């Protein structure tokens, strides 16, 4: 499951069960759609993949993060390598607490969110969570100047 915003929750599970829930949600007047994904991410059905990932991650050297990393399974910041490793593993089969994570970051003083990569899904969700939160989307090189300006303004505040 992904708890993305007050208006959006994504469910994951066996394909037939998810389809059945979608039909029932539509019958109840909700908007429901199927996401084109290859697996039931962030659900207990991913535990076998989590076990395989654990073996690889445990063999990998991690350093303490230079800045706090907010973990989407706990909606809390982490600051050490061991916690980062464990969080990376746990996120495979646990729900994503995106809304709660964003609210925690705002409560902790984050004033600007920068989304880097194709699409504007996260900045769109951010607008639903807190319309006043600063946000900028970087789709490619033409967006770098606007992002730099937004970051400079946020630092000056």
Say what percent of the chain tops pLDDT 90: 96
**Which whole-number Å values give the CA distances from 142 to 10, 116, 120, 150, in the listed order?**
32, 12, 15, 14
What's the angle, vertex CA 87, arms to CA 84 and CA 89, rounded to 5?
115
Q: 120-153: string of b/e by CB count within 10 Å (b at 16+)?
A: eebbbbbeebbeebbbbbbeeeeeeeebeebeee
Band (157; pLDDT cuts 50, 70, 90): confident
The mean per-residue pLDDT over the stretch 39-55 comes to 96
Against a cut of 0.75, is the pTM above it?
yes
Band (131; pLDDT cuts 50, 70, 90): very high
Specify the DSSP element, H or E, that contains 3: strand 2-5
Q: What is the mean pLDDT of the chain?
A: 95
The mean per-residue pLDDT over the stretch 73-102 comes to 97
Write the burial class of residue 71 (CB in 10 Å: 0-12 exposed, 13-18 middle, 19+ buried). buried
Is the distance from CB of 152 to CB of 134 less than 8 angstroms? no
Enumerate residues 6+ apart whose C-beta is below 8 A from 65: 78, 79, 80, 81, 84
The mean per-residue pLDDT over the stretch 41-61 comes to 96
The mean per-residue pLDDT over the stretch 76-99 comes to 96
Sign of the CA dihedral running 104, 105, 106, 108? positive
Domain boundaries, the chain: 111-157
Q: What number of helices (H) and strands (E) belong to the chain?
A: 6, 6
């Amino acid at each position: 499951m992904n708890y993305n915003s007050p208006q959006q929750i994504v469910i994951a599970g066996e394909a037939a069960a998810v389809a059945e829930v979608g039909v029932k949600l539509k019958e109840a007047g909700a908007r429901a759609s199927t996401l084109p994904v290859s697996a039931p991410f962030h659900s207990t059905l991913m535990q076998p993949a989590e076990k395989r990932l654990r073996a690889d991650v445990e063999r990998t050297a991690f350093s303490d993060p230079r800045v706090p990393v907010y973990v989407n399974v706990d909606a809390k910041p982490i600051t050490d390598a061991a916690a980062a490793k464990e969080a990376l593993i746990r996120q495979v089969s646990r729900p994503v607490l995106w809304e709660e994570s964003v609210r925690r970051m705002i409560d902790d003083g984050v004033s600007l969110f920068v989304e880097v990569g194709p699409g504007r899904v996260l900045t769109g969700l951010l607008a639903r969570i807190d319309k006043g939160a600063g946000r900028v989307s970087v789709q490619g090189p033409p967006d770098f100047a606007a992002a730099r300006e937004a970051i400079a303004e946020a630092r000056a505040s």
